[in-house]
Amino acid sequence: MEDKIIAENELGDWRRSHYSFQISNSVINQVVTVIGWISSRRDHGNVLFVQLRDRFGDTQILVKKKELSETIFESLKSLKEHSSIAIRGRVVEQKNSSNEFEIMPEEVKILSVSNKSAPFLTQAISSIGIDTRLDLRAIDLRRNHLQNVFKIRNTILNSIRGYLSDNYFVEVNTPKMIATATEGGAALFPIFYYDREAFLAQSPQLYKEQLTMAFENVFEIAPIFRAEPSRTNRHLSEAMSIDVEKAYVDYNDMMDYLDNLIRFVIQSINEKNQMELKSLGIDLPDMSRPFSRITYSQLIENLQNSHKYIRWGDDISPKLLKDVFGDEFYFITDWPASTKPFYVKSKKMDLLTDSNTGDDSHVLSESFDLMYGSLELSSGSTRINNKVNLMDNMKKKGLSHKAFDYHLRVFDYGVPPHAGFGLGLERLLMAILKLDNIRDATFYPRDIDRLTP
């Protein structure tokens, strides 16, 4: 049987009078206007039960054939999920519940019609593969599961901004089109910038360091771009980074700030998102103790004592960390200077003797990574604020002084001691909500295989 053609109405002068959460005892027997999309419907012949979804939740619409024109009733009866409608009607109590309300429509506007059956159930975690879901991401984001995820994401962003602002940080914006690599890596996206080559920014690092000269304490929440050819469930080519930089402190101070920031975020979620947490079945991480700290050298020794094959100076794979740490926040500190970018300060007189080679030239750095289990969430450090030392470190890393002249020149004017960190928003959300795939922590993910939608 072919679908009937349903006429769509103009919005005209209709405007919403109430959101779903405002339908309560205070408006019983009043005429209200609600607008949204159909999340589900039940057809009982001459009676329809329609769930109308707005940004806060569902309102039940009780549609009786005998109380509407046949044209309007048949149109509503034919509508599929995801169609948008506006209802003007009277609020009544549901007969089978003393605490719920529904609306009996007196007028209806059909604003947009869904021509296909819903590809996903809005009430459940979808069994459809993530790539299929991402092809229709706007529809996917209507599912209850992701609605809850992104409401919590919104709380995270608001709480971070609130915490940093209350601690005298200034929110800044830095260029996303740059002339040279921030960290000297190869993982860059080149772009055409008028008549020359430029790159998408991997990090706001050098700019936020410079801004400490003017504002002391700065932060930025913005996208970063990494051309890493990775297909893991924890990597994105475009991610949101929370970058923080503060003058007159070192990396120990910044670990304290980051610890307190995460605690504030968890507290805010606990206060504002109980319904979402319950729906997701999530218990928030335990925040009763400060995050533990273990040095890189101590961790390597522990792994070696556990018969793991790893040498001092190696990166530490997530697989190795899974065997050591559970679902907890912790810092790995004092990484080898050779593994860190050129702007990271080395620890004075801190050398380590490699038991395998006898080499005592392994310089440590004033650096840290914040981890949750085996997932890296943040990296931070004390930065080099002496021009000669910075230039020496750039030379060791094989970087051209000329390429970074725009940055080096400000060091002639006394850059203050400073430290900071970058925190991945999607990874933080992944850790807190135990998401399996980082692509469900961002609206429209970009990775090695996906450039649309």
Please state the φ and ψ torsions of residue 445, each to the nearest 5 degrees: -65, 145
- Residue 238 marked ligand-binding: no
Tell me how far the alpha carbon of residue 25 is from its chain's centroid. Answer: 37
**Which of 280, 248, 244, 218 has its CA nearest to residue 441?**
280
Distance CA 416, CA 371 (A): 28
Q: Is 145 part of any known ligand binding site?
A: no
CB atoms within 10 A of CB 318: 13
> Tokens 């933080």 label which residue?
428
User: Which SS3 state, helix, strand or coil, does residue 391 take?
Assistant: helix
Provide φ and ψ at 107, rounded to 5°.
Answer: -140, 150
Where b means 16+ CB within 10 Å and e means fewer, 18-45 reads bebeebeeebeeeebbbbbbbbbbeeee
Contacts of 55 (CB under 8 A, 6+ apart): 19
Q: Is 227 labelled as part of a ligand binding site? A: yes
Residues 6+ away with beta carbon under 8 Å from 288: none
Q: Is 383 annotated as belonging to a binding site? A: yes
Reply yes or no: is the peptide bond before residue 229 cis, omega within 30 of 0: no
User: Cα–Cα distance between 192 and 31 in angstroms, integer?
Assistant: 57
Is 183 marked as binding a ligand?
Answer: yes
Give the side-chain half-sphere CA count within 13 A for 374: 13
User: Comparing C-alpha atoms, which of 151, 29, 136, 146 is closest to residue 92?
Assistant: 29
236 in a known ligand binding site: yes
Determine if residue 216 is labeled as part of a ligand binding site: no
Report the SS3 class of residue 232: coil
Whether 263 has a binding-site annotation, put simply, is no
- To the question of whether residue 198 is assigned a binding role by annotation, the answer is no
Is position 90 annotated in a ligand binding site?
no
Residues of the binding site for ATP: 226-228, 234-236, 376, 424-427
Annotated binding site for Mg(2+): 376, 379
Annotated binding-site positions: 183, 226-228, 234-236, 376, 379, 383, 424-427
Binding residues for L-aspartate: 183, 226, 379, 383
